[in-house]
Amino acid sequence: MSSSFQSLLSDSQQRATQTAFVFPGQGSQKVGMLAELAEKYPSIRSTFQEASDTLGFDLWQIAQSGEHLDKHLDQTEFTQPALLTASIALWRVWLEQGGVVPKYMAGHSLGEYSALVAAEAMTLADAVKLVNRRGQLMQQAVPHGQGSMAAILGLSDEQVIELCEASSQVGAGQVEAANFNAKGQVVIAGDAEAVQVAMTHAKELSGKAIVLPVSVPSHCRLMKGASEQFSDALNAVELQLPKIAVINNVNAAVATDVDGLKQALINQLYQPVQWTKTLDAFEQNGIHYLVECGSGNVLSNLAKRLAFVEKVFPTDTVARFEDALQQIKAIEA
């Protein structure tokens, strides 16, 4: 973490009382992400250079062209550091431009690491190495083609949990609710055959089921072995409590000690992402504005229909970023 970055955070204006930052996870990546922003804000490229120097390969080239040598943007072990670096690059520009420091932060799955770096719980160098290793372990945990994920739309959380339990009892393997993203939108994960059975059950209940284009069944018990190996990597990293409150994925709470912070990250690999409860926690704490700090607008779309959210701001283009910067300044003035 550069000293200039540290001073930017400490010198920023008083934290907003109505604003939270959210950081996207895997699935938000796209070839060419942040290219326009990088032309205007040099620290975008310098942040990617910092991450590339740490990892030993050109992360910016992977993000811009989709591949570099034998490394591809859609390979989990490269997707994760690319997305994390994109989020932190935007966060640094936000601070450099005098942006308001939010009251709360949260990240969806991988995005939780972005939130923790932004809140100075860990350094960017440690985080990109961690998520690179996280991606490797996740890919190794389940042979290619044996795991699957699907989005179930139009059913309640309880219905999805029940159909997963029923599907897991027919001998096709295990399937579980993996991401509680919004009311009526739950992602399931597990053995590929069991996911197919669950999708059939969902359609029988008048829900919709869409297979997701992923190679790793995240946030289910198939990742338990990966989480145990990942704990070794996590324990080698120096963590501290965030300077900005970060609501974690596994129980939608703010960790009160470093051990709790680590355990939440370990559990996150094989337990569901409680995103709906995370947004509920924002509401309970007086949040009315969300800034999505990273590539794409997936989290913005999940939040914009919520009654307590007055406005959501994606930041993945120059126009969107500058609109968010100025409007949040005006709101929190």
Q: What is the pLDDT of residues 150-181, one digit of tens each?
A: 999 999 999 999 999 999 999 889 999 999 99
How many whole angstroms from its chain centre is CA 107?
4
Assess whether pLDDT exceeds 50 at residue 12.
Answer: no
pLDDT at res. 70: 87
Q: Dihedral of the CA atoms 214, 217, 223, 229 (nearest 10)?
A: -10
For the chain, give the mean pLDDT. 94
Q: Hey, which residues are catalytic here?
A: 109, 219
Which position has the token pair 């936000």?
94
Looking at residue 190, its pLDDT comes to 97
One domain for residues 36 and 135: yes
Q: What is the pLDDT of residue 2?
A: 43
What pLDDT, on the 0 to 100 scale, is given for residue 171?
86
Is residue 69's pLDDT more than 90?
A: no
39 has pLDDT over 80: yes
- 75 with 134, same domain? yes
Beta bridge partner(s), residue 108: none
Nearest to 291 by CA among 135, 142, 90, 46: 90
Which pLDDT band holds residue 333 (cuts at 50, 70, 90)?
confident
The pLDDT, as a whole number, for residue 260 is 96
**Per-residue pLDDT at 214:** 85
Residues 56 and 118 in one domain: yes
Cα separation, 178 vs 67, whole angstroms: 29
What CATH number does residue 315 fall under? 3.40.366.10
Nearest alpha carbon to residue 113 among 137, 86, 139, 94: 86
Residues 257 and 322 in one domain: yes
Domain around 110: 3-141+222-331
Cα–Cα dist 282/288, whole Å: 8
Higher pLDDT residue, 144 or 263?
Answer: 263
pLDDT at 215 (0 to 100): 78
pLDDT at 4: 44
pLDDT at 7 over 60: no
Same domain, 86 and 210: no
Q: How far is residue 155 from each of residues 31, 233, 253, measured CA to CA in Å?
A: 33, 38, 25
In a shared domain, residues 325 and 182: no
User: Tokens at residue 139, please?
Assistant: 């890919």
pLDDT at 11: 47
d(CA 179, CA 253): 16
Position 5 scores a pLDDT of: 53
Residue pLDDT, tens place only, 282-327: 999 999 999 999 999 999 999 998 999 999 999 999 999 999 999 9
Choosing from 179, 198, 214, the residue where a domain stops is 214
57 and 179 together in one domain: no
List, in order, residues 6 or more apart from 1 with CB less than 8 Å away: 120, 123, 124, 125
Shared-domain flag, residues 92 and 240: yes
Q: Are 83 and 26 in contact (CB under 8 A)?
A: yes
Q: Please give the tally of structural domains in the chain.
A: 2
Whether 42 and 98 map to the same domain: the answer is: yes
Identify the residue whose tokens are 């990966």: 226
pLDDT reported for residue 172: 86
The residue among 175, 198, 214 that closes a domain is 214
pLDDT at 9: 58
Check pLDDT > 60 for residue 10: no
Token match 């995240």: residue? Answer: 218
Per-residue pLDDT, 1: 41
Residue 183 sits in a domain whose CATH number is 3.30.70.250
Is the pLDDT reported for residue 141 higher than 90? yes
28 pLDDT higher than 70: yes
Determine the 3-state secondary structure of 179 from DSSP.
Answer: strand
Judgement on whether residues 102 and 238 belong to the same structural domain of the protein? yes
The reported pLDDT for the residue numbered 8 is 53
Same domain, 258 and 136: yes
Residue 14 has pLDDT above 90, yes or no: no
Q: Are residues 79 and 116 in the same domain?
A: yes
pLDDT of residue 6: 53
* pLDDT at site 17: 86
